[in-house]
Amino acid sequence: MLNRFANPILFLLMLLACTAVPAADRVFAQLHQRVWNTEHGLPQTSVVDITQDPAGYIWVATEGGLARYDGNQFQVFNAQNTELLRNPLLRSLHTTAAGELLIGSSDKLIRYQQQEFQELTLDGRSVGSVEAMAENSQGQVFIAAEQLLVWQQGQLSVLPVPGRPVSSLLAEGDRLWLGGPGYLALWQNGEYQLVADMPQAGWLITEMVSTASGLLLATPQGLWQYQHGQLSPAQQQIADEVLLLFQQQDNLWVATYQELRQYRGQQLLSVTDLRQHSKLGWLVSAFESREGFLWFGSKTHGLLRFRADATTNYGVASDLPDPYVWALQEAGNELLVGYNGGLAAFDGERFTSKVAPALLSHHVVYSLFREADGTIWAGTRRGLNKISADYQQVQRFSALDHIQINGIAQRRDGSIWVATFDGLYRILPHSDQPELMTPSLGLPANRFRIILTDSQDRLWLGTPNGAYVWDGLQLKKISDPRLDGVYVTFITELADGRILLGTLQHGFAFEDGQGGWQHITPEQGLPSNDVIYLAETDRGLIIANFNGVYRLSSAVLTGGELQARIIIDDIGPEAGVDGLRCCNGAGNSKGALWQGKVYLPSLNGLVSVDLAGLSDQVPVPQVLLEEIKVGQTSWPLAQPLVIDQQSRDLVFSFTAPAYYRPRTLLFRYRLNGYDQQWTTVNDRRQAFYTNLPAGEFSFEVQARYQGEGEWSAIVSQPLQIKARWYEQYWFYVLLVLLALLVIYGSYRLRLQRLARLQQQLERMVTERTQELNQANQQLAQLNQRLQLLSVTDALTGLHNRHYLQQVLDAILARARRQQRPLLCLLLDLDNFKQVNDLLGHQAGDAVLQQLAALLKRLLRQSDHLIRWGGEEFLIIQEQQDEPLAFLGRLMQAIAEEPWTVKGELPFSISCSVGVVQYPLPDNSSWTWTQALALADKALYQVKTHGKAGWLMLTPVAKATAAQSWLQQDVLQLLQSGGFSYVGSSLVSQQLQQELASAGQ
């Protein structure tokens, strides 16, 4: 209902949030298509015009009547329910700046406003067939009918122009262009000018658009242009009859009977052969809605909607012979794709076949793995294949030809491990014989869905009955009770080294860092039960399941709020018509993060999710209250609605216009003053109430998208139901008086007893309150002491790791705000094990306590000193000194300290220090955890090359992929040119010698 749209600004913001990528930014083949015709409720398949009103409804003019669409259902207006539409042949639609809907038919002009249709006449006469309408910036609506008319401020008048037929209008600033049979004219400043005359028979302007270089004109003789005062065929060289000419932002759409062309400026972006598309037909109208969707009206196939988002589908049109894709593997500049036709490579746009299916053990490639030297392992539905890096040699393993290969992994010793539904196999280097490992490892399971080797060279196995891990010596089943018996479909190692397990029907779980598992389940708000692939990206966690893809904030891995954003929704009644049939399969290689996009296999080719195109805004639907029925009568909405008739059966009809995923809308409503709780519904967009009592109520309704977002603002309709005689106030007063007379006697007898009981109860409450206050004071004191103990190391009195977890965010925030990097030092006592071995642990504890006291003396109050573990300490300086000077003082103080055990040891007590600055001066992409790992790597270099020194490593700007750099040793980092260093003299000398030796 138009007049119920109370907040157009909020609605506009909602629309902007719904679409991350405007349709104008994509070529036609990459747009997601949806088609509606008479099967879905359209009155007729010939859609001649489309518009959108301020409430968000899409209006469709057909040759069989008018339809209003909210994304859920069409409401049809024709001769059966609207007298003014007895002639269903409509010609044009226009929504005015004032919010009116103007409808042009073959014999009249109609206005729709506030749920009412009204014919607009000229001196009491119908205006005749309305061919076109256009509105200028002053709110004047020009109407091409039997005469050229103007609608302004509720008045219809005739424009004084020559009586030539007008078939097309274009308002451009204060200019109005008029096109008709054989001519082009201009109306400006109250004057008419004939600018071009074309005597050619049959030449007619049907549509016009304005471009930077002039006017483009659609005619039966092709596309023409008016430029520099001259009329000529357009540069686009389209000679066929132009049925559609539409300007959409930077895009120009031109449709003929045979093809649809898309231009950006003079550049031809795409050509679509309409004869090859069974769902397009002849395109005769177009519209861009506020959501950024592109709408086409077909002469033969109904209403079409095209949208773009962060996803793109690459299938048969991109040279993939078969659309069923099962496995993906990153391979440098290309993406390997396993599908029903063997092995292909994808370059970002097109597919190229790499291995013919006849050369493989089976034509369906189900899993992939690529070694560092380029060797490819391809698991199929029936067997395993080893493919050379140049794709010229294919080796099959006949012993596995009967088995589906679910996953492939490699350990550091070069052995290949193969997960199947018939056991776990190993292939040693230089061996051609798969070895069944299930019995020798003591695995109770024989069906393996996924396999992973982590950074510690541990082997993780996912089965239909939980997960296992093998460290090379011992096999252990993950003993978490919520994972026992669960189908594990996905395993990955997170950036911080923790393992994450995805499951079927139970969400996912990840290591909590304390020996247990943290679970994220559908009950906590996951949009789907299943996880078949998860990518950890800088835009959050991208999670694929059998019904689509969604995104979670990475904060969920550290205890943050679970906030889901739907990316692909392939569930429910719209999955087959507005989805991508994603995602496909379970096991290894069921997704890939490549070139800034997440790629996923589907039953309709390859699906990509462009991380840069994802929107962080949450779509919030705008609810509209459409109708209230009392009994069988529709009542106009009023503030408030007063009902005084006998019937108290009410039906409230509501909706929320949405043209993507409308079936995932959830509504909740209540009759405030009557309902105690909200009632939640999905497809049913009505609320029914029968035999309501008298009183004042307010009907309230909200909406949200299933699986994401918050409830929308409440839309309310106050109403009053007048009371019947026996519901009047005086009647209830009389009943109350009679009841009071009956109970008065007994009330007097019980009054004194109740007073005594009340006094006794008050005494008891006072006593219990005093006891409770004392207990609360004792509990507060104990909690305060427990909090202090939880962040303090018992031996040294220093802060512990738990303290850093509590203050790290604040430390990093201050560093960013002050634009001053932190100085982070990892300090480790040298030869501390020998101190314990020679003098005992009591002496070792004394050394640690003495070192803690020394460090306290060296540091300022603003510095953070933490016992990191064992003999290792972490120092964080917020107001840092010059690093080299501080490190010199530190090393000197340790060397000069009068250690209590100095005379009892055959060596001097010293320490090794690894140093970094954070945020890293020339590289802001490193996280705190990665920077700390870099300091630990520097510490390890000092410990293994002489000890008693320090080393500071700094990545330069090009060292952005932190995880891959951290897998290298210090010498490799420095040789790469991606890191610089500063160290104590002996450490620097040794590094220079090693670098010089490595360079020879």
- Cβ-contact 652, 717 below 8 angstroms: yes
CB atoms under 10 Å from CB of 182, counted, come to 17
Closest-CA residue to 62 (of 97, 32, 89): 89
Compute the C-alpha angle 285/211/144, nearest 5°: 50
Helix H or strand E encompassing 758? helix 729-790
Nearest-5° angle of CA 285, CA 291, CA 297? 15
Select from 10, 58, 4 the least CA-distant residue to 624: 4
Q: Is 627 a catalytic residue?
A: no
Q: How far apart are CA 111 and CA 119, in angstroms?
A: 6
Pairing of strands 325-331, 334-339: antiparallel
**DSSP secondary structure letters along 54-94:** TTS-EEEEETTEEEEE-SS-EEEESTTT-GGGSS--EEEEE
Coil, strand or helix at 904: helix
Count CA within 13 A, CB hemisphere, residue 922.
Answer: 10
Q: Which helix (H) or strand (E) holds 460?
A: strand 459-463
Are 480 and 517 within 8 A, CB to CB?
Answer: yes
3-state secondary structure of 841: helix
Residues 6+ apart with CB under 8 A from 712: 620, 621, 622, 623, 656, 702, 703, 704
| Sequence-ordered alpha helix ranges (H) in 944-984 | 962-965, 970-975
The dihedral sign for the CA sequence 182, 186, 187, 192: negative
C-alpha distances (whole Å) from 535 to each of 121, 549, 554, 589 are 63, 11, 11, 12
Instruction: State the sign of the Cα–Cα–Cα–Cα dihedral 342, 346, 350, 352.
Output: negative
What's at 450, amino acid-wise? I
Give SS3 for 957: coil
Q: Are 100 and 89 in contact (CB under 8 A)?
A: no
What DSSP string runs through 203-251?
-B--EEEEETTEEEEEETTEEEEEETTEEEE-TT---S---EEEEETTE
Q: If residue 419 lies in a helix (H) or strand (E), which one and from where to where?
A: strand 416-420
C-alpha to C-alpha distance for 860 and 856, rounded to whole angstroms:
8
The residues near 596 (Cβ < 8 Å, ≥ 6 apart) are 610, 611, 612
As a whole number of angstroms, the distance between CA 843 and CA 97 comes to 86
Residue 499: what are its φ and ψ, rounded to 5°? -95, 140
**Residue indicated by tokens 């009410």:** 650
Tell me, what amino acid is at 921? P
Structural contact between residues 445 and 465, judged by C-beta atoms closer than 8 angstroms: yes
Catalytic hit among 116, 771, 871, 897: 871
Beta-bridge partner residues of 363: none
Burial annotation 4-19 (CB, 10 A radius, 16+ → b, else e): bbeeeeebeebbbbbb
Long-range contacts of 926-929 (CB under 8 A, 24+ apart): 926/955, 926/962, 927/495, 927/962, 928/808, 928/812, 929/495, 929/496
Asked whether the beta carbons of 66 and 104 are under 8 A apart, the reply is no
Catalytically annotated residues: 871
